[in-house]
Amino acid sequence: MERPLVVSALENQVKARPVPRHVGIIMDGNGRWAESRGLDRLEGHREGSSSVREVTRTARRVGIQALTLYAFSSQNWARPAEEVAGLMDLLRDYLERERAEILDNGIRLNAVGDVGRLPRFVREPLDRLIADSAHNTGMVLSLALSYGGREEILHAASRMAEAISRGELLAGRVEEADFESFLWTNGLPPLDLVVRTSGEQRVSNFLLWQMAYAELCFTDALWPDFRTDEFLRCVSQYQQRERRFGLTSAQVKREDTPQRAKA
């Protein structure tokens, strides 16, 4: 049975201020979590699925519009075959188990990445849940699957070149928004905050284009230990930052600075 939810003071404090619209998370440290307990690495990924559930619920409760989780990178295909197979099984289990909760809570599921590479037993429940949740407007949960930021940029560049060759776009007149429309993240709000767990401080090919003006939060917690309070602490840190987008602090504080530049 679910335990009744006790909303913490931290959560109330976070809810009282503007929350980031779009948060991306590099979920790292599952392997170390398991190995430090003498367990198989897959046990770490399994426990990490519980963090996925808890952080998604919390993000939804505090009013985040978009949450993007780095679940499997383009480079992760090169891990030992057993680990890749175990991760694919976990993804399928997650999509089956969380289906009702996603649909009942107004969450729209989305995937970013070269999802055509996923095995059919993952792609089918993924496509089904994406289609069945398409009308939901509460929060977009994007799973980055077979995802790499460089791969995304290359893919977008080649699709844009095709559009130019069809005469749909003028080569010398391409604007940022034109290019963004070819990215896998097209339609998602600008990325405001990126969290990385496990004490590593690098971006590992995650949302490279989108990260240009994102705030970063690095935490030592391993992903399976990263739950509601750790997530709220990152959001709270974000709320204390001044985002300047290349302007001066005085400009940002001025009432007449366009909202978009302040956002």
Degrees to nearest 5, angle at CA 245 with 241 and 250: 70
Work out whether 27 is an interface residue with ligand FPP (CB under 6 A).
Answer: yes
For residue 79, the Cα-to-chain-centroid distance in whole angstroms is 21
Choose, by CB under 6 A, the member of 21, 40, 54, 76 that binds ligand FPP.
76
> In the bound complex, what is the minimum distance in angstroms from residue 51's beta carbon to ligand FPP?
7
Window of 1-9, 69-77, 106-114, 162-170 that interacts with ligand FPP by CB under 6 A: 69-77
- Considering only residues 207 to 236 of the shown chain, the ones binding ligand FPP according to CB under 6 A are 223
Stretch that binds ligand FPP, among 89-97, 127-135, 179-187, 202-210 (CB under 6 A): 89-97
Is the CB of 61 or the CB of 79 nearer to ligand FPP?
Answer: 79
Q: Are 34 and 41 in contact (CB under 8 A)?
A: yes
Are 231 and 241 in contact by the 8 Å Cβ rule? The answer is no
Smallest gap, in angstroms, from Cβ of residue 146 to ligand FPP?
12
Closer residue to ligand FPP, CB minimum distance, 64 or 156: 64
Q: Which of 40, 76, 105, 132 is flagged as catalytic?
A: 76
Structure tokens at 217: 């939060």
Count other C-beta atoms under 10 Å from residue 151's C-beta. 18
Of 55, 150, 138, 130, give the one whose Cα is nearest residue 104: 138
**For the sheet containing 22-26, what is the strand order?**
107-112, 139-147, 66-73, 22-26, 193-196, 215-218
> Residues interacting with ligand FPP, by CB under 6 A?
27-32, 45, 48-49, 52, 69, 71, 76, 90-91, 94, 143, 198, 223
